[in-house]
Amino acid sequence: MRHRTMDDALLQNLLSGLSLNGQVVSSPSTAASLHPDGGLSDAYSKSFHPRNGVSEYDRQKMVEAERNERIMARKQQLVELGQSRGIHYVTYGGEDHLHQIMDLITRDFSEPYSIYTYRYFIYQWPKLCHLALNADEKVVGAIVCKMENTKSPFGAGDPVRRGYIAMLAVDKSERRAKIGTALVVSAVESLMNYSCDEVVLETETTNQAALRLYENLGFARHKRLLKYYLNGVDAFRLKLWLRFPPSNREKSSLAPAQTGQATQAEEDSTATVQNS
């Protein structure tokens, strides 16, 4: 069902213009320079050029802070949009939610998960499981995430703290009302609050709805994974950089070649669930 309101039009403006048009990118600097939400527009870059006495590190911190503020402001607008339709957002609250989440996700996913998979994620990271409830307190949308430390792709240096979106689904009767977007923004905000450096997920290359939703929010196509799913479909690994990578913050010359290939360290830390 499609619900169009004035709020939708406003949100469309907020969310528009961030797509990378299907390009595969391998580094935050590439992604940031490609999409306006990365904060590296021409005007922005010029005002903080090293010539002006601002270091690359400080400039990146300002870009990060500005983008993070925008994400939080956007979440508030999405919450208000939901309220106007009788939808509210909560984090995981117990077994009753668990069964509803399973029902919702099982309806849409090509590779069914066992209850142990749900428990693995939700019991360990309950605050990273965001739900949309309707006026009857029924779960109509869910996002399930986790966090992990991975090796820095730049060799020595702090590990990268990675947020991983394992599952996302919205009930068919409530789609195209920005509930999916609100859930992703809520999850990203939580992951930011846990100091994550990046957010990653995989989705089928044929899932236009998911690709558009994530790319509207600034996620970039980081890698194509051949025959990733049991049904033989390829996946795109999508990535949103929340911070410039720790070991790269003051050594931008160490950034990997921008070939669209993930580094070995990233390969080693490939996330575990294949059907987000």
Contact set with ligand COA (CB under 6 A): 12, 108, 168-170, 175-181, 203, 207-210, 212-213, 216, 276
**Using CB atoms, what's the residue nearest to ligand COA?**
180
Whole-angstrom distance, CA of residue 78 vs CA of residue 82: 6
Nearer to ligand COA, 63 or 200 (CB): 200
The distance of closest approach from Cβ of residue 105 to ligand COA in the complex, given in angstroms and rounded to an integer, is: 8
Nearer to ligand COA, 20 or 63 (CB): 20
The distance of closest approach from Cβ of residue 159 to ligand COA in the complex, given in angstroms and rounded to an integer, is: 25
Alpha helices for 16-92 (secondary structure H) = 28-34, 42-47, 56-83
Whole-angstrom distance, CA of residue 74 vs CA of residue 91: 18
The distance of closest approach from Cβ of residue 103 to ligand COA in the complex, given in angstroms and rounded to an integer, is: 13
The distance of closest approach from Cβ of residue 116 to ligand COA in the complex, given in angstroms and rounded to an integer, is: 20
Phi-psi category of residue 225: left, alpha or beta, with phi > 0 → left and psi -120 to 50 → alpha: beta
Phi-psi category of residue 97: left, alpha or beta, with phi > 0 → left and psi -120 to 50 → alpha: alpha
Nearer to ligand COA, 178 or 222 (CB): 178
Nearer to ligand COA, 208 or 258 (CB): 208
The number of angstroms, rounded, from the C-alpha of 111 to the middle of its chain's C-alpha atoms is 21
The distance of closest approach from Cβ of residue 202 to ligand COA in the complex, given in angstroms and rounded to an integer, is: 7
| Closest alpha carbon to 200 in 237, 147, 169 | 237
Tell me the CB-side half-sphere exposure of residue 118, using CA atoms within 13 A: 20
Nearer to ligand COA, 26 or 275 (CB): 275
